[in-house]
Amino acid sequence: MFTLKNSFLLFILLASGCFSGIYAQIDTTIAGLKNANEASPFGANNYKLDSLPHNLDSPFVIRNIVFEGNKKTKENIMLRELPFKEGDAILIKEIPTLFNIGKTQLMNLSLFHTVSLSVLQFDPPFIDIKIAVKERWYIWPFPYFKPVDRNLNQWLFQKGASVSRIDYGVKMLYDNVTGNNDKIRFYFITGYTKQLSLGYQRPYIDKGLKWGMNFQINLGKNHEVMYNTINDQQQFVKTNDYLKNFFNANLEFTYRKKFYTTHYFGIGYQSVRFGDTVFVLNPRYLNDPQHFLKYGLIYYRVRYQNLDYNAYPTRGYAGEIYASKQGFNNDMNVWQLTAKGVGYWQLGKLSFYSLGASGTIKAPFKQPYYNKQLLGYGDMFLHGYEYFVMDGVAGGIVNATLATKLTNFSFSVPRTKWFSPIPIPLKIYGKIFANAGYAYDPDPGPTNRLSNRFLIGYGVGFDILTAYDFTLKVEFSYNHLGQNGIYLQKKDIF
């Protein structure tokens, strides 16, 4: 039930964002920047500010930038992320800020365990800078084991932790293949889904380090298909025959002129065939009476990301606009526009506040069931509604979080014959949160009562961060129906 108490909690969390800027001011003096990098992932820079010359207005020319520890990563990939280059003239008082930006950018490449920047030598009017990194391990052949449901709670409690609802197999993650921060992804999956997937990402393909390219191919089939939504919950049908056979391929070009904004231009092709049983249960599943879809996709995405640590931000801003056209005939005809944004403001040394929102609209509004997935899928989920989905063609969510760091320490995996010691950081944040959302569905069906109404959820929880950007959220959430529970989530910046 939507009560005054619920409304007040949501109002307090959302309204506090208006005042967070008061506490988020940063001291830009040399003294204030001694610990400027404490908010970055796992440790501070090691440069010594007390060794700097006293004349803070003295310009120095960067004579050399020396790298250490990058056994595989190419120097031009690292230089690309720095706010300075050899030959630049900088003021002494600018060094802490520039080093802080440089470390943040290098850590957000997800190539290194640690990054430190230091002044190697002062030789007026020149200065030499040293950048030392400890590279991650880049090749990971993993067993693949993943429940197929939207979240772990749905699999555990609604589906009885059924082994038949698990994808398992092998995945090969190969990062920094050529030293250019490129990635290969290969998946061989069996179990619930039979699938082969291959992808390659290359952030830069030109000498100017601005244009990149990505491609991915997927081929697979399923015995089970989600065919409808009843009582705001997914309904599945399973047969001995394969009810879904699919193939898709995507090619994407990226353009990143400076640091924070990236443009994506993509085309794709999708082919899907469904079994007759799906259409017996839901005749409006597709527009195509032949039960077969072949369609093209064209899209554009622009993303702005200026965060202190991409895997778990505590300071900064991120936003994205996505526009696409799927299909060019009556079988598939969807225009889609999605916008997302989030801000993070630090409240002292240990706490931060975040406020985010996202929304989607699809046109025309008259769409078959196949095109109406909205709230409850991907990062468009509402805390407190983990067991529900809200179909629709337009809608959005707003969420607010107040978090504080409870613990922060690290330990190392001992050295072995094959591996150097690996630092394992561990951070735990406690938090309170609230979110609200709305999904518009012109034809929700007689049993779906969560579409076309304002929804609110709130709760408390813990976020656990450790090595290789792994983040787990443990949350105790409530919703307007009076339901509550403990839920496990994966962290997303939006």
**pLDDT computed for residue 28 by the predictor:** 30
Give the pLDDT confidence of 274-307 residue by residue, as tens digits: 999 999 999 999 987 778 899 999 999 999 999 9
Mean pLDDT of 130-155: 88
Judge whether 42 lies within some domain: yes
H/E stretch holding 5 reads: helix 4-15
Q: pLDDT at position 162, please?
A: 84
Q: What is the pLDDT of residue 116?
A: 96
- Domain presence at residue 457: no
Q: What is the pTM of this model?
A: 0.84
Please report the pLDDT score of residue 186 as a whole number.
96
SS3 of 270, please? strand
Q: Taken in order 325, 328, 332, 333, is the CA torsion positive or negative?
A: positive
Give the separation between CA 440 and CA 29, rounded to whole angstroms: 50
CB atoms within 10 A of CB 195: 19
Q: How many CA atoms lie within 13 A of 262 on its CB side?
A: 16
3-state secondary structure of 76: helix
Per-residue pLDDT at 2 exceeds 60: no
Number of folded domains in the chain? 1
pLDDT given for residue 291 in this prediction = 85
Do residues 75 and 67 lie in contact, with contact meaning Cβ atoms separated by under 8 Å? yes
Asked whether residue 221 is assigned to any structural domain, the reply reads no
DSSP 467: G
**Does the residue 451 lie in any domain?**
no
More confident residue, 255 or 141: 255
pLDDT at 50: 53
Is 115 in contact with 103 (CB distance < 8 Å)? yes
Identify the CATH number of the domain in which residue 48 sits: 3.10.20.310
Residue 42's domain spans which residues?
33-135
Written as six digits, the tokens of 69 are: 């520890």
Q: In this structure, is residue 78 part of a structural domain?
A: yes
Q: Coil, strand, or helix at residue 18?
A: helix
Residues whose CB is less than 8 angstroms from the CB of residue 410 and which lie 6 or more positions away in sequence, other chains included: 42, 423, 424, 425, 426
Count of Cβ atoms closer than 10 Å to residue 67 Cβ: 15
Q: Flag whether 367 is in a domain.
A: no
**Strand runs (DSSP E) across 316-388, as ranges?**
316-329, 332-347, 351-363
Percent of the chain with pLDDT strictly greater than 90: 69
In a domain, 190, yes or no: no
Alpha carbon 368 to its chain centroid, in Å, reads: 29
Closest CA to 33 of 51, 47, 12, 15: 47
Query: CA Rg, the chain, in Å?
Result: 25
Return the structure tokens found at 73. 């990563």
Q: What is the DSSP letter of 264?
A: E
The confidence score (pLDDT) of residue 52 equals: 54
> Average pLDDT, whole number, for the chain?
86
| pLDDT exceeds cutoff 50 at 36 | no
Q: How many CA atoms lie within 13 A of 337 on its CB side?
A: 4
Q: Give the span between the Cα atoms of 59 and 40, in whole angstroms.
A: 27
Q: Which residue has the higher pLDDT, 27 or 37?
A: 37
pLDDT of residue 328: 84
375 near 387, Cβ under 8 Å? no
Q: Coil, strand, or helix at residue 338?
A: strand
Residue at 4 is within a domain: no
Residue 141 binned pLDDT confidence (cut-offs 50, 70, 90):
confident
The encoded tokens of residue 330 equal 């009556």
Confidence of residue 10 (pLDDT cuts 50, 70, 90): very low
pLDDT in tens, 163-189: 888 888 999 999 999 999 999 999 999
pLDDT of residue 219 exceeding 70, the answer is yes
Which tens digits make up the pLDDT trace of 337-375? 999 999 999 999 999 999 999 999 999 999 999 999 999
